[in-house]
Chain A
Amino acid sequence: MSSGRRFWAPLLLAVLLVPMAAALSGCWSRREINDLAIVSAAAIDWQDGLYQVTAEIFRPSAGTAGGGMGGGGGGSPLVREAVLATGSGPDLFSAVRELALKVPRRLYWAHATTLLVGEALARRGIGEVLDFWTRDPEARTTTLLAVTPGPAEKLIVQAEPGIERSVGREVVGLWRTSAADGHAYLASIHEYRVAAASPVSAPVVGALTLSPEMQPPLPGRGGAGAGGAVQPLQIVTLRLYGAAVMKHDRLVGWLTPRETRGWRWLTGRVSSTVLVARCQDVQRRLRQPGGGQGESDSQTAAGLSPETTLSFEVVRAWTQVQAKVQGGKPRIVVRIHAEGTLGAQGCPVDFTDRRHWDAMQAVMADIIRNDVQQALAKGRALRADVFQFGEKVHRADPRRWPQIQRQWDAVFPRLPVEVHVAAYIRRSGMHSWPPASLKP
């Protein structure tokens, strides 16, 4: 009897409690995945004194499931599998809520990969945007942040993603490829916030534009030309172009691709890029003292046009930035180390000759130095410490930093920067001799 009760009590408890725990919670905040409007990208503009938010929402269609559903085999090419919805309001939150009224499903921001900010809003300041994005529990700080010349809405409306199914996915792809070439930059909101943590530094964000691309004729697109011939099709796709400089959350200027690469060299962000050298420069280096003399002069005559180039692929690079404060005067020493392989060659250079090799390395370093100088000049002109030199100085001399910080805007443009570049060519690629026509 007593043992019976002991057995039954826990069982009864389990039988009662398990469904109770499940039922009483009432599937609290449950949302089926197919009841969500998954936001892929958002464009935020400042228009007529209102925030305007345009969201790109994935449109679930049979094509996106891959080959699995009914053997459809993907959607039709160059069709964006997303819909757009726009809302506006005096602040972002109200704009987003207005947007929600136009979407039959619950907006879901966790998968939004891209946040585009129009130029007007960027110049006004993106502080509120960041606040909204980081305050919302769904949105993530891994979202990529980019500024667009002109309104961002134009970009999200007009862009025709070629490979990916949405602008959001397209930008993620561009972000990946941006690492392969140093001429552009794209970073997440998190990275922006880290860079903006120091009051004197000016974060750099990505810049996105549209670029027309020719496509082969597509069935149903492009329109028939004269005589029924299908014309090639021109579409507009997204491209990364340089970067934008923000200061105190406001857009202050743009970096060209070359300046962007210089900025990347200075901040240690180059992992891979292509350096293009003119053959003339290599010849000049060879003629310099320490280079080859006489012999090379005779070779120069070998019908070399001034445009022929030689390019190196940087495969490994690192940067060391040191701040030194002497007598209250800060100065910066930058050491850049780059290693590369020969990528393409149009010059009669003998790779087996050590002097030629050294000359090429010297030219490589010259190019890097040139990049850095351009970036430095732009930074100084914008009075924007995009290189985080202020942070370095802060760390080098924390006691004197409060003083320096107050005059940083005046100090920075005149800050002496010493740049040491060491460039090495490690390999010549698959063959060490150029084609016979190019042989020296």
Chain B
Amino acid sequence: MRGMGYVLRQIVWQIMRPRRPGGPAGASGQGRATGKGGPAGSAGIRPAGPGTGAGGGNASGPGRGAGIVGAVLPGLPPWAFGSKESHVIQEKPGWLRELESVPVSPDVQVNFNTLTALFGGSLDLVRRQVRMDNFCAGVVMIDGLSQKEEIEHYIIQALHTSRLMSTQAGVPIDTAVASLQERAMDVVETKIADNMADVCAALLDGDSAVFGQGWSQCLLATTRGFQTRAVEEPRVEVSARGPREGFTENLLTNISLVRRRLKTPQLTVEHLRLGERTHTSIVLLYIRGVAKDEVLAELRRRLGLVRIDGVLESGYLEEFIRDRPFSVFPQALHTERPDRVCAALLEGRISILTDGTPFALIVPGQFILFLQAADDYYEHWTLSLGIRMFRVAGFLMALLLPALYVAITTYHQDVLPTPLALALAVQREAVPYPAAVEAFFMQVLFEILFEASLRLPRQMGQAVSIVGAVVMGEAAVRAGLVSPVMVIVVSLTAVASFTIPAYNMGLTVRLLRLPMILFGAAAGLFGIGMFSTLILLHMLSLHSFGIPYLAPMAPFIWEEQKDVFLRVPWWGLRTRPVAVGAADQIRGRANVAERLHGPPGAAQTPLPAREAETLTLGGAQVGAADPPRLPQGEAGP
């Protein structure tokens, strides 16, 4: 039998073992090569559009599995980003890949049958045949996802009208795909697909497919339209001053909310899909030339590694892309305010919007970001100083107050003024439990109450909070279970924790509070100091997309103190945060020229013309996601 020392050594070795060096492996090297290779290098996320189509490059060869960008970010420690496994590109769901080999049949009925079989005869798959003289067209849509009127008027009726007109002119109708697409489709956006994968994906997005007798292709028309919630005031992130609009569950609405505030073609919307079953649209928002390319590349790489069945909320992604998955500290800010997203984009950050949720992610997320609120930037700058200080004080109080109370009343009674010491002694006179148990009890009670009032419908939540706070608190004191001061301490702590603007940071503080009480109870102020040091060390070790978590404070960046604990006036905020590493440090100077002609030194290539663009979500299996240095077409529709 081996001794205890051996076991301990094993444990220590496992923990302290040097991490695998993060040098660019073969796969990543290849990834970099393809990344620079331009749109043709479709081993990565390929640009959408019929030009590249469902080309073989995507489906076959060693390309799959190669990353977009495999390089370690320059200037960053190799351990800044998780593991350096081979960078697998984002894959299509398996069922879509299978369907890619199923061509569109020239027979409308065969296509109908294929789709019916695919959807398992689902009720909401609507098939309609349109007969025009000797030509037969078939329209397919999914009920509820598409606007039926649009299909009625601009597809079916348009087909009839064009037939009528050609009959009147005495010319037989030209039933070729391209011809009908140009002449008979009154829908803004149409596409041509040649395999069932594209058709299926389009249908599921709410588009409609038009098959034609004798075609081996299919016309896809963007007719999506479904019930969504209107743009409302944000529920969680309220602000006294500032826009009242909040994100909705509709991705396109959300993008438009951002674009309406950032009227620049440099605002880039990169689309990709994640989720084997949900095939959820994910969008990266950033301002080209402002966001740091390396961060962007790293974000794409991480998103490319995501393997998940479904993405129902941005929180799913947050857990995938954070630098330290086991840290309790949030490393990506989430917000439901478009103005907040815009402000972050202007700072050089990147936002991730997820279809189906009003919460956008913002990366890189530093600690201080979670203590800043939108109001800070809207109200007069002198007020921000005090408010932010109070917020920091609130953060510390929420973390430390119960622990300090326990530590002081059980170890350091000498630091109390005599009358206070007596008052506390008297109040605790009837309490049978040690202060630590009392604090734990009250804290747990509070957490339960908080959770209960959060889940209940609004009207009932009110009742619960009254019962919980007033009745139970008062009764507990009267019953001698807790001392009145403890109630004050716990409620102060609760109130203080609400000063933290970011809900997830508040959760972190709540999580750390209990062990803090434990340490305070075990070793007094010394214990609190010990645990605080542990937390601080952990925070110092954190990075968010290569940017130190405590960035403007540690490492201390003097120039950036302008927007940490106070905000200098807007005319003083001339540069973007250094730590975020924006490509363009000066605010208020949009380098359109660079965007059009590439950065100085890059080859001046003519802009390739592309029809289907990044913004059009339909049809594209995966959105255009070229490395940003590459010259691109118009970003807007």
Contacts and interface: CB of A to CB of B under 8 A. Distances in A.
B535 to A, nearest CB: 11
Interface stretch (A31-39, A290-298, A365-373): A31-39
B569 interface: no
Interface stretch (A11-19, A313-321, A339-347): A11-19
A58 B422 contact: yes
Contact of A32 (B410, B422, B518, B519): B410
Contacts of A29: 411
Given A60-B429, A64-B423, A68-B484, A30 B413 contact: no
Contact of B530 (A11, A19, A21, A28): A21
A253 B523 CA distance: 49
A322 B72 CA distance: 75
B15 interface: yes
A69 B413 contact: no
B326 A11 contact: yes
Given A3-B82, A34-B429, A27 B521 contact: yes
B413 A3 contact: no
Contact of B422 (A9, A28, A60, A110): A60
Nearest to A109: B414
A6 interface: yes
Interface string A306-331: 00000000000000000000000000
B427 interface: yes
B302 interface: no
Given A3-B82, A23-B522, A33 B20 contact: no
Interface residues of B, number: 38
Contacts of B530: 21
A5 B14 contact: yes
28 contacts: A2-B20, A3-B83, A7-B326, A18-B531, A21-B523, A21-B530, A22-B518, A22-B523, A22-B527, A25-B523, A27-B434, A27-B436, A28-B522, A30-B410, A31-B411, A32-B428, A33-B413, A34-B426, A34-B428, A36-B413, A36-B425, A40-B418, A58-B422, A58-B425, A61-B426, A69-B426, A111-B413, A111-B421
A66 B15 contact: no
Residue from the set A11, A23, A27, A29 with the largest chain B CB neighbour count within 10 Å: A27
A167 B197 CA distance: 91
B521 A33 contact: no
Contacts of B14: 5, 9
Given A21-B527, A22-B521, A31-B413, 4 more contacts: A23-B522, A33-B421, A60-B422, A69-B484
B431 interface: yes
B422 A38 contact: yes
Contacts of B414: 110-111, 138, 140
Nearest to A63: B426
Given A7-B325, A30-B521, A69 B83 contact: no
B59 to A, nearest CB: 29
B515 interface: yes
B522 A22 contact: yes
Interface of B: 14-15, 19-20, 82-83, 325-326, 409-411, 413-414, 418, 421-429, 431, 434-436, 484, 515, 518-519, 521-524, 527, 530-531
Contacts of A168: 418
> Could you say which of B413, B425, B428, B436 has the most chain A C-beta atoms within 10 Å of its C-beta?
B425
B411 A62 contact: no
A60 B521 CA distance: 23
B418 A169 contact: yes
Contact of A33 (B418, B428, B518, B523): B428
Nearest to A7: B326
Contacts of A58: 422, 425
A389 B428 CA distance: 52
B500 to A, nearest CB: 23
The 7 nearest A-B residue pairs measured at CB: A110-B414, A34-B428, A22-B522, A65-B426, A60-B426, A22-B518, A33-B409
Nearest to B85: A3
Query: Which of A6, A19, A29, A31 has its CB near the most chain B CB atoms (within 10 A)?
Result: A6
Given A9-B14, A9-B15, A60-B429, A32 B409 contact: yes
B435 A33 contact: yes
A23 B409 CA distance: 19
A113 interface: yes
Contacts of B428: 32-34
Contacts of B82: 3
Contacts of B425: 33-34, 36, 38, 58, 60
